[in-house]
Amino acid sequence: MKDGSFLTLGIETSCDETAIAVLADGRTVLSNVISSQIDIFKNFGGVVPEIASRHHLENINGVLTEALEDAKVSLDDIDLIGVTNGPGLIGALLMGVATAKSLAFAKDIPLVGVHHLMGHISANFIEYPQLQPPFMALITSGGHTEIVDVKSYTECEILGGTRDDAVGEAYDKVARVLGLGYPGGPKIDKIAKEGNPEAIHFKRVYLEKDSFDFSFSGLKTSVLNYINQQKQAGNEINRADIAASFQRAVMDVIVEKAVNAVKMRGEKKLVLAGGVAANSKLREMLGEACGADGITLYRPAPALCTDNGAMIGAAAYYKYKDKIFEYSEQGDDTTTINAKLQDNAGVLSSVMNELYLAGANILAVNQSKQNKKEFLRGYDYMLSKIEPEAVIDGVNLLSESIRQTTPVTCFRFDNCFYYIRFLLFLQSPYMIF
């Protein structure tokens, strides 16, 4: 609490953005810091989960410090912590969750886990202070395409979703085929402005009558087939026309289904959310369609469409107000696992995933390269002595499970390892959500 305002710290690490924000009273943004990994993954053509996790680990403390400084507050002023707990990349999510739980434990601050999509919806509460549920929401992103009936700040019903490729995923794949690079959404949106959306007819897939589901896999394949046919015929490939025609086919379906859902449920408000909500054609076409049917359209600023901590903080605030939160008290059953892991891609993620599935709460993760002294000593791994015995047994079983289920050999002596230390809670109120 500061100056009479309830302060929420929002943490988002579901994919390739390390984002932390501070909000006052759930809707006023005091800071919103985002460290993006887009430039890193341009060379890969998409996100590499293991690399994303490591960059979250490297960046999150700096992002936290900057967010607090920008907001001119300290951790002692924070009343609530909200963190994305899914869906997303497991390793990336765990970096944010572990950080959030460490802070909550150290400062005895209530912690709320937030569904990523509810976070995107909640970005509109920041953009539009007057907005209140109920309303219909259209969520479009790299991993999701959903139409959601938002009944309250914490309750919603999914009316339809993608059966294959999400709209953002389809954009990325088509952009790759066109040689536009990653991320595909903004690049296709930009080049499409130079093309003719009527130049090529790509089939619109509406699925069953009155269905609010989406399917973009076939459309993506149609674009690929068209390009191959033109190349075989020796024709010039007009990327702008292809991008414009593809985008129009996508938007025709999305806009029609979203507007029909609003009218079917008798709503008068439609909210845009997700990364693809920043698309200029979607905003334009949906604005025209809603205007024609007397529907009020809410469109968050492009900066709030991408993954960010502010939207997570807003969603957490309303969950807390509805007394939907995971814990607010501390537990005593703690232990530390010191281990050596092979310094290969996928090892850390495999171990962390096993800990997650076992229900262990990862409070902190510290890693460092092996030094010569420890190598000569033949350092392997150890478990710190803890009480009670039941917890010790749990850790031993957990370690054995990791040995047996991870796809790589862990906890053995070799000269190419890095050390990792897990600070764990077992059977405490701080369990992973």
pLDDT number for residue 345: 61
Phi/psi at 231 (5° precision): -65, -40
Closest CA to 20 of 65, 57, 80, 72: 65
- Indicate if the pLDDT at residue 387 is higher than 80: no
pLDDT number for residue 123: 96
H/E stretch holding 421: strand 417-425
- Indicate if the pLDDT at residue 390 is higher than 50: no
- Given the candidates 2.60.40, 1.20.81, 3.30.300, 3.30.70, the CATH classification of the domain at 334-425 is 3.30.70
pLDDT number for residue 348: 64
Least confident of 25-39, 108-122, 345-359: 345-359
Closest CA to 13 of 47, 67, 56, 55: 56
pLDDT number for residue 419: 41
pLDDT number for residue 355: 64
pLDDT category of residue 22 using cuts at 50, 70 and 90: very high
In whole numbers, what is the pLDDT of the chain averaged over residues?
81
Q: How far is CA 331 from CA 80, 145, 147, 201, 424, in A?
A: 18, 39, 40, 61, 11
- Indicate if the pLDDT at residue 221 is higher than 70: yes
Query: Any residues with CB less than 8 A from the CB of 390 and at least 6 apart, and which?
Result: 427
pLDDT number for residue 130: 92
Q: What is the mean pLDDT of residues 105-120?
A: 91
- Indicate if the pLDDT at residue 303 is higher than 60: yes
Query: Alpha-carbon distance 301 to 8, whole Å?
Result: 21
Query: Alpha-carbon distance 19 to 46, whole Å?
Result: 19
Contact 433, 113 (CB under 8 A): yes
Q: How many Å from the N-terminal Cα to the C-terminal Cα in the chain? A: 25
Query: Any residues with CB less than 8 A from the CB of 175 and at least 6 apart, and which?
Result: 181, 182, 183, 184, 185, 187, 188
Query: Alpha-carbon distance 180 to 182, whole Å?
Result: 7
Tell me the CATH class for 131-301: alpha beta
- Indicate if the pLDDT at residue 156 is higher than 80: yes
Residue ranges of domains in the chain = 7-123+309-321, 131-301, 334-425
Tens digit of pLDDT for each residue in 41-62?
A: 888 878 888 888 889 988 999 9
Quote the percentage of the chain above a pLDDT of 70: 75
Which CATH superfamily does the domain covering 7-123+309-321 fall into? ATPase, nucleotide binding domain (3.30.420.40)
pLDDT number for residue 358: 58
pLDDT number for residue 1: 76
pLDDT number for residue 87: 86
Phi/psi at 20 (5° precision): -140, 135
pLDDT number for residue 372: 40
HSE, CB side, 13 Å, CA atoms: give it for residue 59. Answer: 23
Closest CA to 178 of 238, 230, 268, 232: 238
Maximum separation of any 2 CA atoms in the chain, in Å: 75
Phi/psi at 151 (5° precision): -85, -30
pLDDT number for residue 98: 86
pLDDT category of residue 389 using cuts at 50, 70 and 90: very low
- Indicate if the pLDDT at residue 276 is higher than 50: yes
Q: Which two tokens stand for residue 391?
A: 């917890």
Phi/psi at 24 (5° precision): -105, 125
Same fold, 7-123+309-321 and 131-301: yes
pLDDT number for residue 62: 94
pLDDT category of residue 246 using cuts at 50, 70 and 90: very high
Q: What is the mean pLDDT of residues 158-179?
A: 91
Query: Alpha-carbon distance 331 to 352, whole Å?
Result: 21
- Indicate if the pLDDT at residue 332 is higher than 70: no
pTM for the model stands at: 0.76
Query: Alpha-carbon distance 154 to 125, whole Å?
Result: 13
Closest CA to 342 of 266, 233, 400, 419: 419
Least confident of 122-126, 151-155, 319-323, 425-429: 425-429
Helical packing angle, 239-264 and 280-292, nearest 10°? 40
